[in-house]
């Protein structure tokens, strides 16, 4: 991915997209530039050492192994600079209310006391990493649970898989599985766990070519409509 354009403003939050064509694509997929300001970054192996001074666990992409999330970042709603979020838990806390409480640099003083909008951005979309836009306002996992994202390898038809790990270590990959688990283990319901705390929305890569587009299937009605349209046209020479 080439260096991105300057950030475009919106009434609630901001994201950076590399081109107008990408903007339309994400809007159509339900990841509107008006509502999504938080993104995650996956390190490429070539750039894994660049952020060595940050308190973030690095993840390196190895051939044959799916990449893992290397860092979380959110864009300031005032200066549009990207700020690294030190932990996954803090990122999930910010994401849960990102629309109601847009992120600003002042919020980062929780872990960087002197930071202001005048400081250089922590990370930039320079093409050395795989960036993905995340869905805003996803609820934090219930206490003792973990929401995990597994990035698929390049060239597949799906970017990532989302699953939840219960306090007992069981992996649940859909709301149906979560619902069944809660019915089988009512003690979690008694502790206040509800289906509303789970979301299987996956992030989307900003690189259009990372995921292959599924071929469009022509259904019978469309085909019949096409045939009828063509047959109704007058033939030449009549």
Is 218 contained in some domain? no
Is 231 contained in some domain? no
Q: For the chain, what is the mean pLDDT? A: 73
What's the number of domains the chain is made of?
1
Is 99 contained in some domain? yes
Taking the model in full, what pTM does it have? Answer: 0.68
Is 135 contained in some domain? yes
Is 69 contained in some domain? yes
Residue 151 has what DSSP assignment? E
Question: Which residue range is the domain that position 31 belongs to?
Answer: 20-209
Distance CA 74, CA 7 (A): 13
Cα 215 to the center of its chain, rounded Å: 23
Q: Which CATH number goes with the domain that contains 36?
A: 3.30.890.10
Partner residues linked to 131 by β-bridges: 41
52-108 pLDDT tens trace: 333 333 333 333 455 678 789 999 999 999 999 999 999 999 999 999 999 999 999
Whether 179 shows a pLDDT value over 50: the answer reads yes
Q: Which two tokens stand for residue 138?
A: 């996803």
Distance CA 213, CA 78 (A): 35
Is 237 contained in some domain? no
Residue 190 has what DSSP assignment? H
Is 161 contained in some domain? yes
Is 228 contained in some domain? no
């Amino acid at each position: 991915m080439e260096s991105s354009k300057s950030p475009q403003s919106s009434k609630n939050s901001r994201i950076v997209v590399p081109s107008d064509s990408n903007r339309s694509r994400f809007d159509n997929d339900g990841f509107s530039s008006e509502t999504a300001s938080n993104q995650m970054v996956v390190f490429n192996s070539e750039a894994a050492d660049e952020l060595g001074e940050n308190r973030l666990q690095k993840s390196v992409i190895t051939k044959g192994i799916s990449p893992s999330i290397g860092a979380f970042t959110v864009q300031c709603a005032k200066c549009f600079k990207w700020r690294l979020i030190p932990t996954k838990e803090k990122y999930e806390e910010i994401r849960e209310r990102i629309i109601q409480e847009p992120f600003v640099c002042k919020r980062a003083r929780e872990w960087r006391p002197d930071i202001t909008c005048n400081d250089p951005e922590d990370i930039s979309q320079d093409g050395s990493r795989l960036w993905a836009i995340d869905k805003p306002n996803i609820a934090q996992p219930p206490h003792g649970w973990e929401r995990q994202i597994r990035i698929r390898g390049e060239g597949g038809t799906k970017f990532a898989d989302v699953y939840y790990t219960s306090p007992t270590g069981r992996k649940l990959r859909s709301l149906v599985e979560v619902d069944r688990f809660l019915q089988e283990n009512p003690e979690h319901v008694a502790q206040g766990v509800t289906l509303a705390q789970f979301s299987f929305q996956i992030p989307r890569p900003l690189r259009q070519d990372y995921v292959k587009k599924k071929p469009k299937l022509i259904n019978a009605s469309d085909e019949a409509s096409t045939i009828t349209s063509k047959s109704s046209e007058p033939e030449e020479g009549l």
